[in-house]
């Protein structure tokens, strides 16, 4: 159905088209994109996300992060997801993972499958659990998290919105 693929320079055209669909849909934020929604230089973004995968080169203000496109069997980018290997003070209410699915591909199970596959990546890195945050009113994302074993932990407020933290235990 889909596979997680690290962004590469060869994917530039498809990536720009993917991002533009969010903007055309009136969305300026692409969750899980490691700021792809805030850059105009795809090549530099690829360099940055590659650097952030290694302890030696990670941005000192960030944490080691793996970023993946969700690519379907037609080689189309349908989503993006990232895995933050640890939580710093800034990330404690944002969690280990963010994800976004392009507007035309929502409600097809792509987010659930991307998260399921990312949990396998997290296990391989030695992580025991993931914390994910979601705005309470985002019911599709709440379902994505709970379908992958997420259990409610606590609530908080962000930008005037109620949000919840869910914990997913990673078993062997």
If you search the block for the tokens 């899980």, which residue do you land on? 32
* pLDDT band at residue 171 under the 50/70/90 scheme: confident
* pLDDT band at residue 172 under the 50/70/90 scheme: low
Residue 112 has pLDDT above 90, yes or no: yes
Mean pLDDT of the chain: 96
pLDDT value for 1: 87
Report yes or no: 98 and 61 within 8 Å, Cβ to Cβ: no
* Mean pLDDT computed over 51-71: 96
Q: Which residues of 90-129 are buried (b: 16+ CB within 10 A; e: fewer)?
A: ebeebbbbbbbbbeebeeeebbbbbbebbbeebeeeebee
Q: What are 39's two structure tokens?
A: 């850059």
User: What is the tens place of the pLDDT at every residue in 120-162?
Assistant: 999 999 999 999 999 999 999 999 999 999 999 999 998 888 9
Q: What are 147's two structure tokens?
A: 């379908």
Percent of the chain having pLDDT more than 70? 99
In degrees, rounded to 5, the angle at the alpha carbon of residue 35 between the alpha carbons of residues 33 and 41 is: 110
User: What is the tens place of the pLDDT at every residue in 23-43?
Assistant: 999 999 999 999 999 999 999
pLDDT value for 159: 84
């Amino acid at each position: 159905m889909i596979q997680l693929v690290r962004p590469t320079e060869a994917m530039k055209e498809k990536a720009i088209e993917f991002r533009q669909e969010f903007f055309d849909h009136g969305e300026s934020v692409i969750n899980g994109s490691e700021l792809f929604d805030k850059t105009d230089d795809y090549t530099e973004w690829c360099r940055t996300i590659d650097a952030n995968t290694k302890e030696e080169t990670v941005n000192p203000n960030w944490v080691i992060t793996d970023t993946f496109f969700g690519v379907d069997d037609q080689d189309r980018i349908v989503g993006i997801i990232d895995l933050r290997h640890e939580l710093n003070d800034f990330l404690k209410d944002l969690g280990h993972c963010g994800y976004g699915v392009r507007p035309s591909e929502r409600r097809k199970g792509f987010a659930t499958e991307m998260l399921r596959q990312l949990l396998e990546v997290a296990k391989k890195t030695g992580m025991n659990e993931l914390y994910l945050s979601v705005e309470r009113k985002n019911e599709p994302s709440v379902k994505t998290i709970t379908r992958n074993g997420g259990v409610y932990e606590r609530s908080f407020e962000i930008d005037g919105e109620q949000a919840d933290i869910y914990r997913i235990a990673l078993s062997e």
